[in-house]
Amino acid sequence: MVDISGTTSPVHYSVTVRPNCSLSPAGTLRVFSVIALISLSFSLVFVFIGAWPVLFFAGAELLTLGYCFYHVLLHAGDYEQLIIDDDKVVVQIHELGRDRCVKLSGYWTRLVLDCMPGGYCRWLVLRSSGCEVEFGRHMTSDERLKLARQLRPILGGFMT
């Protein structure tokens, strides 16, 4: 599930793909803080009356919940961007806070869409001079197909 935004100006073609994440990092922090505050408050009362194992279990559970939120948050800022200009194709991948940029020749880049017999399009790859980069890992089959159809007149390419 992705949010896709694209433009044809000022460059020839640009598309950005982001995984859908409906809760912002600040929202996540607020939600987790409220849960942690409530849970720890209860636990401390139980510690006070002598039932200290409650704190242990509550702590373990909050760590698990926190890790789950953290895991989701880590990927919340991920995106892939494809920019096609006159003579170059730039694929920018932002994952886990790190950027990776691959520049390909605009004249030699070809698009490869790998589809299974049932019609499921599993890969969309850009290739040029022995260099290959996958685009649209967050996209669904239909979205890859749609994007490939849009790019084909610009880049040329084929389906397998």
Q: Compute the least distance from the CB of residue 114 to another protein, in Å.
A: 5
Q: Compute the least distance from the CB of residue 5 to another protein, in Å.
A: 11
Positions that interact with another protein (CB under 8 A): 1-3, 20-23, 27-28, 31, 35, 38-39, 42-43, 46, 49-51, 53-54, 56-58, 60-61, 64-65, 68-69, 72, 76, 110, 112, 114, 116, 118, 120, 122-123, 125, 127, 140-143, 158, 160
Q: Residue 139 has what DSSP assignment?
A: S
Q: Please calculate the CA angle 114-87-97 and round it to the nearest 5 degrees.
A: 65
The alpha helices in the chain, defined as continuous H runs, are: 25-48, 53-74, 141-155
Nearer to another protein, 48 or 99 (CB): 48
Other Cβ atoms closer than 10 A to 99: 8
**What is the gyration radius of the CA atoms in the chain, in angstroms?**
23
Nearer to another protein, 54 or 90 (CB): 54
Q: Residue 104 has what DSSP assignment?
A: E
Nearer to another protein, 39 or 81 (CB): 39
